[in-house]
Structure 1
Amino acid sequence: MSHPNAVLTPRHRLKVARLVVDDGWPISEIAARFQVSWPTVKRWVDRCLAGESMQDRSSRPRRSPTKTPQTVTKRCVSLRLRLREGPVQLAARLNLAPSTVRRILRSARMNRLAYVDRATGEPIRRYEHDHPGSLVHVDVKKLGNIPDGGGWRYVGRRQGEKHRAATQGKSRNAYGGPKLGYAFVHTVIDDHSRVAYAEIHDDEIAETATAVLVRAVEWFNTRGVTVERVLSDNGGAYRSHLWRDTCAELGISHKRTRPYRTQTNGKVERFHRTLVDGWAYARYYASEAERRSELAGWLHYYNHHRPHTACGSLPPFSRLINVSGQYT
């Protein structure tokens, strides 16, 4: 848009039109004086005679037959706020092209989540093993248990504290409040396919972590995947002799990340963020038991139906060939 003192701003357009209409100047002379074409002068004269505004008219067409319906746009924004999924996943839900979803989110200024941009100051180095089972990532996600009646994220701080205090069957802390404890989600995710296996437990000790690994290896074996290597952080359970001996019995090579380098185990860290947004805090849960009961269904959706950008916008199970029940 031109600045207020530019030639033929709305004020000067009216001045040009009045020189022709009121003073009788020829259109050609006015055009030469203001260094514009005579059709331009004619346009403003006609608008002056018709009593129309000298402001620029919108270039928007009168009709847009292929425009995305307003209801679809509102649903896209609503799903973005509620599920915090990306354009590819929202496009699959809404039966739209990912580019259309990106345009909608950009128009609503929601194309970036607040916590997505985390500048590390280092270049991002991506890697992916060439076949399923070549490497699996393991980690534990710690979540606070939900009190009976719902947590503060959905009922508010004040009501959440009341629900917390009213929860029965829990030991008390020094201030008289109940100790709700934590839920530890033990996750095993395949590096190549992004197929995930997860269990919820009340601790993250070595016995629990190794038992989860054994069951995860069996789970992957039934789906035609032989686990060869496992990557973990430097947690106590993964540095234990029990973990070392269990990996040796399973014929798995164990590797740990460098201290304070969570990026190396980034695939499971990213999965945990998806887990939190899609399951842990995705909706209102009236109790911790209700939330835990929903994990199996969400994992099935993630593995079998949710589009994954690393898999070419296909579900992770699409990278496992000839698996029984793969397309259910």
Structure 2
Amino acid sequence: MVERVLGGQSPTAVAAQMGCSRQTVHKWVKRFAAEGAAGLEDRACRPRSSPARTPAGVEKRICALRRRRRWGPARIGAALGVEGSTVHRVLCRHGLNRLSWIDRPTGQLVRRYKKAHAGELVHIDVKKVAKVPPGGGWRVHGRGSPKAKRRRRLGYTYLHVAVDDRSRIAYIEAHDDEKADTAAAFWRRCRDWFDKLNVGIDAVMTDNGKNFTSKTFAEALGENRTKHRLTRPYRPQTNGKVCEYRVAGAIEAGLTQAKV
């Protein structure tokens, strides 16, 4: 935008080309003239000063009541003489608007970890999904309907899923079992798929299933010296990030290999 204006085009013409207003073009040109290329970097939308913002002392008391009492915005507002909507904004600002984000014993804010770059850690898991018979199952015909009762069980589809910790990009394959040989072959194809994206995998995190702790899977990881990390038992903070909704989306799309 700036280059076109400096090249001799009028701000009105440039605005029409870029799909924005003429005032926006003038704003960026003035910023470039005053600060150079650094003035074109993204900035926070928040104002430099907020005179009407809730005092820091009140915000501190709101957060303390939220952590200690687990009260909602309306109850906190009544106790402190503050509007409930104001309390809600303060809780959102400090990341306390969801009780599930607060550790119950300590009252501290719980944040899930995130790695620094893509490929630093990949989460691998297997999700077992029941096969749906042709024509639909009980959701279509009803639980007690004769059609649903006559249909025999078709077994399960085992979805092998790998999710990158940083980018959340996922690779999914559907198989008939979750044995060690299948898991090892899945990992090799997954590794090749990530290589095509120019993403080198440093470490893999899995649960303590026998297919992942087997010698076959360890040999597959050792081919590229990929580190293997196991989730701690009864420790949801270190659990994998293979989410059900990602797998469900791949099933609905009818994919055996999917980038989610």
TM-score for both structures, normalised by structure 1: 0.44
| 1:125 match | 111
Indicate which of 294, 303, 310 corresponds to 2:254.
294
| 2:138 match | 152
Tell me whether 1:273 sits opposite 2:245 in the alignment.
yes
Indicate which of 137, 145, 150 corresponds to 1:165.
150
How far residue 279 of structure 1 moved from its aligned partner, in angstroms, is: 4.5
Q: How much identity, in percent, do the aligned residues show? A: 41
Q: Could you tell me whether the CA contact under 8 Å between 2:181 and 2:216 is conserved in 1?
A: yes
How far residue 157 of structure 1 moved from its aligned partner, in angstroms, is: 1.1
Counterpart AA for 2:179? I
Counterpart AA for 2:254? E
| 1:191 match | 165
Q: Could you tell me whether the CA contact under 8 Å between 1:135 and 1:230 is conserved in 2?
A: yes
CA distance in 1, matches of 2:181, 2:206: 16
Q: Number of residues paired by the alignment?
A: 160
SS of the residue corresponding to residue 144 of structure 2 reads helix
Indicate which of 208, 213, 220 corresponds to 1:239.
213
SS of the residue corresponding to residue 236 of structure 1 reads coil
CA distance in 1, matches of 2:111, 2:238: 9
Q: Could you tell me whether the CA contact under 8 Å between 1:136 and 1:188 is conserved in 2?
A: yes
Tell me whether 1:136 sits opposite 2:108 in the alignment.
no
CA-atom RMSD in angstroms: 2.7
Q: Could you tell me whether the CA contact under 8 Å between 1:149 and 1:163 is conserved in 2?
A: no
Tell me whether 1:260 sits opposite 2:220 in the alignment.
no
CA distance in 1, matches of 2:255, 2:113: 28
SS of the residue corresponding to residue 295 of structure 1 reads coil
CA distance in 1, matches of 2:136, 2:103: 36
Q: Deviations over 1:131-160 (max 9, x none)?
A: 11111000011111111210222332134x
SS of the residue corresponding to residue 198 of structure 1 reads strand
Q: Could you tell me whether the CA contact under 8 Å between 2:205 and 2:240 is conserved in 1?
A: no
CA distance in 2, matches of 1:120, 1:196: 29
Counterpart AA for 1:221? D
CA distance in 2, matches of 1:296, 1:145: 14
Q: Deviations over 1:221-276 (max 9, x none)?
A: 011001110000111101111111111112200010111334423421xx323332
Tell me whether 1:200 sits opposite 2:185 in the alignment.
no
How far residue 118 of structure 1 moved from its aligned partner, in angstroms, is: 9.7
Q: Could you tell me whether the CA contact under 8 Å between 1:137 and 1:190 is conserved in 2?
A: yes
Q: Identify unmatched segments of 5+ residues in structure 2.
A: 1-97
Q: Could you tell me whether the CA contact under 8 Å between 2:127 and 2:159 is conserved in 1?
A: yes
> 1:1-328 to 2 correspondence within 5 Å?
121=104, 124-159=110-145, 162-163=147-148, 165-166=150-151, 178-268=152-242, 271-276=243-248, 278-280=249-251, 294-295=254-255, 299-300=258-259, 302=260
Q: 1:121 to 1:196 in 2, by over 3 A?
A: same
Q: Could you tell me whether the CA contact under 8 Å between 1:229 and 1:254 is conserved in 2?
A: yes
Counterpart AA for 2:245? R
TM-score for both structures, normalised by structure 2: 0.55
Q: Identify unmatched segments of 5+ residues in structure 1.
A: 1-111, 167-177, 283-292, 303-328
How far residue 198 of structure 1 moved from its aligned partner, in angstroms, is: 0.4
CA distance in 2, matches of 1:148, 1:258: 40
Counterpart AA for 1:149? G
How far residue 191 of structure 1 moved from its aligned partner, in angstroms, is: 0.6
Counterpart AA for 1:294? G
| 1:317 match | none
How far residue 201 of structure 1 moved from its aligned partner, in angstroms, is: 0.6
